[in-house]
Amino acid sequence: MFFSDEFEARFADMLTHYPTRRSTLVPTLLYAQDEIGYLSDEVVAELAQRLDLNELEVRNVISYYSMLVTKPRGKYNIQVCTNIACMLKGGEELLDHCKHKLGIGHKETTPDGEFSLEEVECIGACSWAPAIQVNYDFHENLTVQKMDEVLDDYKKKGGEIL
Amino acid sequence: MASLVSHPDEIRVVTKRFGQGATDLDRYLALDGYQAIQKALAMTPDDIITLVKNSGLRGRGGAGFNTGMKWSFVPKQSAKPKYVLCNGDESEPGTCKDRLIFEHDPHSVIEGVMIAALAVGSHTGYIYIRGEYRYLSVIMQRALKDAYARGFLGKNIFGSGYDLDIYWHGGAGAYEVGEESALMESLEGKRGIPRIRPPFPAVVGLWGGPTVINNAETLASVPPIILGGPDWYANLGTPKNGGTRMFCLSGHLNRPGVYELPMGYNLKKMIYEVGGGIPGGRALKAVVPGGSSTPILLADEIDVAMDFDSLAKAGSMLGSGGVVVLDDTTCMVKFALRTIKFYQHESCGWCIPCREGTDWLKKTLTRFHAGAGMKKDIDNIYYLAENMLGKTFCPLGDAAAMPTMAFVKKFRKEFEDHLDGKPCPFEKAAEPVMV
Ligand SMILES: Cc1cc2nc3c(=O)[nH]c(=O)nc-3n(C[C@H](O)[C@H](O)[C@H](O)COP(=O)(O)O)c2cc1C
Ligand code: FES
């Protein structure tokens, strides 16, 4: 349908890994979201059909996992960890700084569609706190200044075609 | 990606190949890789289990159950296929070690899964990696492909006649899915709701088949144990707490990082010598010894051996190895609030005590820290937490309750200092430490 060849190859491969088709669901949802941007009605219908599930079953799974979204968001999703190790090292200040600089709040998107912001739970970077992820990329041992550089870099990149 | 550290007191068992390019299969082979599985193939399953049992290896995922013992619970005969499931969901706040293993030594996890599979007579393994760790999923997929290409996995591994398949699997953001029964639900393509036990996964697990679930660090510890022998490994640690473990030092420290130290290493030494002490000449206030679910220790309680039994005796837990250090600028009410906010967010809502308890705790602590606390709230917070303990399908409720009860018990005075509309006494003093 609308997925890349790489997606289709991975999906076909994964179907051979489990005794049930449904078992591919969680990682497949995330890979689908990475390609389409969010889990649209079309994606839900397509995956439900492929995995012999009804759409509600797929939606129930989607609503459980914090990384899965059903609405579009920015090209770069800035995920700021404010859990304990990051909080002790200024994670909340980083989050405030991003809110201020981007002019958006938690789970909001800038009008140009470039950035979204999200306060997240521990991302496994506690020893290198405070830490953030931009999409899947980690940025660690941050300060407000370094955060500015990170945002500026993505802003520059954003102009380019992905 | 994440930077590596070192200290002379480290004993490198699980981390010995870090920074040495061992994601490359040839490099892994040159560094003793896939030797242990070949040795294990010449042993009987019972001998493998006895060896691992005697090494004193205990689960690194949190509960600290003896690994060989866990494997011995899997029935020898089973009508349904048996499985090995590696838990790489790593999301207990304070914990960032499995990430390093996947990044630097993915084949050691694969080899650990292989040996566990041999020991229990399983022909299929899964390595579950949390969704946020996409780059590690890529590394793991590559490592598995390389292992298949050499015939280390698949049919007739190493010419032994034994067939063994291992696959990767990915999550999509959920702490609860790290809990073993929810992990299986997630792998089966469902919401991560825990299953009631018994039956335990070793008897009824994935798709109803007997399933061994171990943490990634636990499994990566197995190949060196097979090669080095149970006595060598056991003697690295303290009685009944074999070997080394990766301690994730974070918070107010001069040298945070992940260090592999012998089991039973003194916590005070870990903070002041390995971690380099507290920055800015500040005083130590408290330590979370094993991830955010473990009860906090006061500054005068840290002269303790970091092993499962010593910490239990000290009223806490070794947990997942996440040591979070707090200096005297930290507001404990705020710290308690942030801790509970996490568990409230991550509760799957299946069990009412956990769903309601974490939500009421978050509401109460939020109001309390904001200056609208009442004296009776303090006992109420303790009571709400206490009423979750042991009343849920999975221990997420306990994980939220235990630290909360410790915060109230050990810092009641600080809770009282927030009463009567007083502003948080730490709000001004607390300059973020930006190093
Ligand atoms: C809420 C919750 C979250 C957990 N998260 C993890 C995790 O991320 N990784 C892990 O290995 N174990 C986690 N555990 C522990 C697992 O349930 C299980 O005990 C462990 O994976 C067994 O492996 P081990 O014996 O090698 O420690 C969690 C437990 C609970 C209750
Ligand atoms: S607490 Fe922020 S990465 Fe763990």
Q: Looking at B142-266, which runs of residues are DSSP E strands?
A: 165-170, 211-215, 244-251, 257-262, 265-266
Closest chain A residue to the Cα of B93, Cα to Cα: A122
Q: For the domain A76-159, what is the CATH code?
A: 3.40.30.10
- pTM, entire model: 0.97
Of A30, A127, A136, the CB nearest to B249: A127
ipTM over 0.90: yes
Q: Shortest Cα distance from A157 to chain B (angstroms)?
A: 20
Q: What are the structure tokens assigned to B218, written together?
A: 């636990």
B176 touches ligand 1 (CB under 6 Å): yes
- B25-236 folds as Rossmann fold (3.40.50)
Q: Shortest Cα distance from B144 to chain A (angstroms)?
A: 13
Is domain B332-416 annotated with CATH 2.40.50.140? no
Distance from Cα B177 to the centre of ligand 1, integer Å = 9
* DSSP per-residue string spanning B284-338: EEEEE-SSTTSPPEEGGG---EESHHHHHHTTS--TTSEEEEEETT--HHHHHHH
Q: Shortest Cα distance from A122 to chain B (angstroms)?
A: 5
Q: In which element (H, E) is residue B379 found? A: helix B375-386
Segments making up each domain of chain A, as ranges: 5-62, 76-159
pLDDT tens digits for chain B (435 residues)?
A: 688 999 999 999 999 999 999 999 999 999 999 999 999 999 999 999 999 999 999 999 999 999 999 999 999 999 999 999 999 999 999 999 999 999 999 999 999 999 999 999 999 999 999 999 999 999 999 999 999 999 999 999 999 999 999 999 999 999 999 999 999 999 999 999 999 999 999 999 999 999 999 999 999 999 999 999 999 999 999 999 999 999 999 999 999 999 999 999 999 999 999 999 999 999 999 999 999 999 999 999 999 999 999 999 999 999 999 999 999 999 999 999 999 999 999 999 999 999 999 999 999 999 999 999 999 999 999 999 999 999 999 999 999 999 999 999 999 999 999 998 888 889 865 455 554
Give first-to-last CA distance, chain B, whole Å.
Answer: 19
Ligand with minimal distance to A124 CA: 2
Q: For residue B127, which phi and psi values (nearest 5 degrees)?
A: -120, 105
Distance from Cα A152 to the centre of ligand 1, integer Å = 38
Tell me, what's the pLDDT at A162? Answer: 47
Mutate to test the pocket of ligand 1, among B69, B96, B132, B180 (most ligand atoms within 8 A of CB): B180
Distance from Cα B321 to the centre of ligand 2, integer Å = 14
Segments making up each domain of chain B, as ranges: 25-236, 244-327, 332-416
Answer yes or no: do B94 and A26 touch at CB < 8 A: no
- B244-327 folds as Ubiquitin-like (UB roll) (3.10.20)
Answer yes or no: do A133 and B132 touch at CB < 8 A: yes
Report chain B residues whose CB lies below 8 A from the CB of A29: 172
Q: Which residue matches tokens 């890994």?
A: A17
Answer yes or no: do A27 and B95 touch at CB < 8 A: no
Put simply, the chain B residues between 156 and 215 with a CB less than 8 A from any chain A CB are 165, 167, 169-175, 186-192, 207
How confident is residue A25, by pLDDT bands cut at 50, 70 and 90? Answer: very high
Ligand with minimal distance to A126 CA: 2
Q: Which residue matches tokens 């994601």?
A: B23
